[in-house]
Copies of this chain bind each other. A is one copy, B any other.
Amino acid sequence: MPTRARERLLDTAEELFYAQGVRAVGVEQILTVSKVGRASFYRHFPGKDDLVVAVLERRDRRWREWLAERVAAHGGGPLAVFDALAERFARADFRGCAFINTMVEAADPAGAAHRVAAGHKDRVTGYVESLLTAAGHPRAAALAPQLVMLMDGAIVTALRERSAVPALRARAVAETLMGAAGEPAAP
C-alpha cells in the first residue's frame, strides 16, 4: 500500500500550479516543498504531465463538490452559484479558474490537460442545468450554457479587477436573464 508521498505531491503541485502556473513550477520546486524524494516522484508518476492531469482530475471532483455544498448553503437556487463564486473571489489566493488557466497555458487543444479542463466545464454546465430544472425553469437546457458563460466571464473579470464585485455583476445579469423577480440574495 502506498504511503502518503503521492498525496503530498498532489497537494503541493495543486497549490503551486494554481498560484504560479503549470509551466512556471518545476519538478524541483514541487519536490522541495513537498519533501518528497526525486525517485519517489517518478515512482508515482511517469512524468510531470501525468502529475498535471492527476491534479486537474482531483480538483475537478473536489471543486464541483465544493460548489454543490456552497450552492446548498445559499438556498439551492441557480443564482446561488454566483454567491459561491463571490466567496471564491474574496479569497486572498484567488487566481482565476484552474481549468481556464490550464487551457490558456496548454495551447495544444489535443493535450490531456486541455481535455480535462474542457470536461470540467461540461460537468459544471450539466450541474447548472440540473439546478435550473429543479427550480422549474422552462428553458433550462438553453439557459445553462449562458449562465456558465457568465460564470467564466465573472471569473476572468475578478482576476483582472482583484475583487469579488464581478460575481454580483454576473448574478444581476443572470437574474435579468432568468426573467425572475429574483430569489433574495443569500444571507
Complex Cα distance, B147 from A169, in Å, reads 10
A78 at the interface (CB under 8 A from B): no
Interface residues of A in 111-155 (CB under 8 A from B): 117-118, 121, 145-146, 148-154
Contact between chains at B104 and A162 (CB < 8 Å)? no
Name the residue in A146, A153, A173 with the highest tally of chain B Cβ atoms < 10 Å from its Cβ: A153
Contact between chains at B109 and A104 (CB < 8 Å)? no
Complex Cα distance, B49 from A45, in Å, reads 33
Contacts A104-B21, A107-B95 given: A146-B160 contact, CB under 8 Å?
no
Name the residue in A103, A107, A146, A149 with the highest tally of chain B Cβ atoms < 10 Å from its Cβ: A149
> Which residues from chain A sit less than 8 Å from chain B, CB to CB?
19-21, 23-24, 95-96, 100-101, 103-105, 107, 109, 117-118, 121, 145-146, 148-154, 156-157, 159-160, 162, 166, 169-170, 172-173, 176-177
Complex Cα distance, B142 from A172, in Å, reads 11
Complex Cα distance, B143 from A182, in Å, reads 19
Query: What residue in chain B is nearest A18 (Cβ atoms)?
Result: B107
Contact between chains at A105 and B105 (CB < 8 Å)? yes
Chain B nearest CB, measured from A118 CB (Å)? 5
